[in-house]
Amino acid sequence: MADCELISVLDLLRQSRQKLILRTTTHSVDFFSNLFLFEKNEMGLKLLFEKEKTQFINTHFLFPEEDTSSIHSDFYNSAIKRLICLLSEEESSVHESISSSIFYKNLASTKIEFLDLLINMEEKSSLNLSQLKYLIIKDNRLFEREMERLTTGTKGS
């Protein structure tokens, strides 16, 4: 890769990182609201951070169409092939038959969708836990009231 080609690829990667940094500096509602929602929920935070990490990686491989050239495609395809090898921890002829860009885009998109689903499930389970706690407190208090009524009714007879 020539110096100007390398610089253009590095510039694309820089632009991708800027998009991610912008999410933080502009206080992205979807990210920061979940931080507060899961502040006392370790599993929810782990899922949220895993999603952010996946989006970070994914953003580095999704170049705008107008910036893509054969040079960038070669870089992109070689990076994807390396990623596939790392994910499977072996090289095989199967890797060659997989369309790298389609495979990676589907992999990252599927992982992000799956993490969104898990985050939503974690949020629902937190709400269900709150409802269960409410019902326990309510039932205990109603039981105590009934016991008071029954014991004061017995003493008065």
Nearest to 58 by CA among 104, 7, 15, 11: 104
Res. 106: pLDDT tops 90: no
Angle at the Cα of 44 from the Cα atoms of 42 and 45, rounded to 5 degrees: 65
Out of 61-65, 76-80, 108-112, 123-127, the most confident range is 123-127
Across the range 67-79, mean pLDDT stands at 59
pTM of the model: 0.52
**Spatial separation of the C-alpha atoms in residues 149 and 82, rounded to whole Å:** 73
Burial of 71 (0-12, 13-18, 19+ CB in 10 A): middle
pLDDT at 96 over 70: no
Rounded to an integer, the average pLDDT of 108-127 is: 84
Per-residue pLDDT, 40: 86
Measured distance CA(126)–CA(48) in Å, rounded: 15
Give the lowest-confidence range in 40-44, 47-51, 102-106.
102-106
Domain of residue 17 covers 3-156
pLDDT band at residue 95, thresholds of 50, 70 and 90? very low
Using CA atoms, how far apart are residues 136 and 104, in angstroms rounded to an integer? 47
d(CA 150, CA 80): 73
DSSP state of 61: T
Position 110 confidence tier, pLDDT thresholds 50, 70, 90: confident
Tell me: the pLDDT tens digits for 124-148?
888 888 899 999 999 999 999 999 9
Evaluate if residue 32 carries a pLDDT over 80: yes
**Do residues 71 and 5 make contact, with C-beta atoms less than 8 angstroms apart?**
yes
Report how many domains make up the chain: 1
Closest alpha carbon to 58 in 114, 94, 99, 108: 108
3 state SS of 64: coil
Across the chain, the runs of DSSP E, i.e. the strands, are none
Is residue 59's pLDDT more than 60? yes
DSSP letter for 98, please: S
Kindly state the percentage of the chain with pLDDT values over 90.
Answer: 13
